[in-house]
Amino acid sequence: MKTTTMTRVTSLIGGALLGLTTLQASAASEMPPIPDVKGDVVKADGDFKIKFSIGTTQSGAQYRGLEYFEKIVEKRSDGHIQVELFPGAQLGDDLQAVSALQSGTLEMTAPSTSPLVSMFPKFALFDLPFLFPTPEVADEVLDGEIGQQMLKDASTNGLVAIGWAENGYRQLTNSQHPVSSPEDLDGLKIRTMQNPIHLDIWRTLGANPTPMSFAELFTALEQGVVDGQENPWITIQSSKFNEVQDYATETNHVYTPFITLVSERFWNKLPADYQQLLREAAKQMGDYERHVSRTMNDQIKQELADSGMQITELTPEQMKTFQDTVAPVYDDWRDKIGGELIDKVRAVSQ
């Protein structure tokens, strides 16, 4: 009797584990492979260690990008720079990691730009609703003059900004009911990033927004402290938000970049050739990570639907209602961000 039960339990656990492994493996194996490292070995003095922390988990595109970064840096420094990856906010959320860079206790991180707007007001460009119609427009902005100037401007306050990757287009999820119009948001408690424009967006749409760090989000959703949140499909899946959120709406309301940051204290200890190596590796990581994120986006949306999430795709009319309803957000922020900057992005989209 005892043996039979034991066997059943063991095989059940075995089955569950197997299921889990297969699931995780399926997402990861579909990811575009990590490219080979190109470029010569860079010779410079000294041995260095980089702890690189991110808020998203090991199964996301961001971590995959970091694995490529690690591979490039370790290979091209011939092992003289060792990179250690810390996913899942184990070393702190976006803001905590940035302040660890400033105090020199952490070497690298790659937060969403949104929680950093109090430090770098121009980053608010990436919080304006529906400003980036396609990933190609985002690329032109990030890799063009605007984005490169932003990296320079953000290289202050103990930070050196060396590249762009992406979190991606944000989608709404919630635990209560399907959302296809702003009316459906009435009273819904939505967690936002710690960012004033995001608060403004959700208030304008009629929801009840609360800012909170990403590291606290899963528990807040699970315990019903908030009803919903918004993040790209890949982040929703890699953080398992679908386990506590039955409904999603494909809103694509904001495009969020990840900015690659290095501690200035650490940077100043690096020989110039190694600094250049990190810049090149950050650029290659950013290109690859964006490719992974975009290749996976639709596939992951499908996987979320298959896992039981009810996903609402908006009709063009429904989308227009959302866009018209949030339009006043621009009146409030246009002057603060700089109308010229917004117009430049719009010009790229034409």
Residues 136 and 132: their CA atoms lie apart, in Å, by 9
Count of helix runs (H) and strand runs (E) in the chain: 13, 11
Residues 212 and 195: their CA atoms lie apart, in Å, by 9
Rule CB under 6 A: say whether 173 interacts with ligand TK8: no
Residues 299 and 29: their CA atoms lie apart, in Å, by 12
Rule CB under 6 A: say whether 56 interacts with ligand TK8: yes
Q: Which residue's CB is nearer to ligand TK8, number 37 or number 212?
A: 212
Strands in 87-142 per DSSP E:
108-109
Smallest separation, CB 55 to ligand TK8 (Å): 2
- Listing DSSP states for 39-83 in one string gives SPPPP-S--EEEEEE-SS-TTSHHHHHHHHHHHHHHHHTTTSEEE
Q: Which residue's CB is nearer to ligand TK8, number 56 or number 77?
A: 56
User: What residues from 120 to 149 belong to the interface with ligand TK8 (CB under 6 A)?
Assistant: none
β-bridge pairing 108-109 and 48-53: parallel
Residues 101 and 87: their CA atoms lie apart, in Å, by 16
Q: What are phi and psi of 291, to 5 degrees?
A: -60, -45
Residues 82 and 310: their CA atoms lie apart, in Å, by 43
User: What residues from 85 to 104 belong to the interface with ligand TK8 (CB under 6 A)?
Assistant: 94
Residues 140 and 17: their CA atoms lie apart, in Å, by 43
Rule CB under 6 A: say whether 195 interacts with ligand TK8: no
User: Nearest residue to ligand TK8, using CB?
Assistant: 55
Among 52, 55, 69, 124, which residue sits at the site for ligand TK8 (rule: CB under 6 A)?
A: 55
Rule CB under 6 A: say whether 52 interacts with ligand TK8: no
Binding mask 237-276 for ligand TK8 (x = CB under 6 A): -------------------x--------------------
Among 95, 124, 128, 193, which residue sits at the site for ligand TK8 (rule: CB under 6 A)?
A: 193
Angle at 106 between CA 214 and CA 118, to 5 degrees: 50
Residues 217 and 258: their CA atoms lie apart, in Å, by 18
Rule CB under 6 A: say whether 231 interacts with ligand TK8: yes
Q: Which residue's CB is nearer to ligand TK8, number 233 or number 333?
A: 233
Among 68, 86, 164, 214, which residue sits at the site for ligand TK8 (rule: CB under 6 A)?
A: 214
User: What residues from 103 to 122 belong to the interface with ligand TK8 (CB under 6 A)?
Assistant: 111-112
Q: What are phi and psi of 209, to 5 degrees?
A: -85, 145
Among 173, 174, 175, 235, which residue sits at the site for ligand TK8 (rule: CB under 6 A)?
A: 235
Q: Which residue's CB is nearer to ligand TK8, number 167 or number 242?
A: 167
Smallest separation, CB 56 to ligand TK8 (Å): 5
Smallest separation, CB 214 to ligand TK8 (Å): 3
Q: What is the dihedral of CA 25, 285, 342, 338, to 10 degrees?
A: 120
Q: Which residue's CB is nearer to ligand TK8, number 66 or number 277?
A: 66
Under the rule (CB under 6 A), what is the footprint of ligand TK8? Answer: 55-56, 94, 111-112, 167, 193, 214, 231, 235, 256
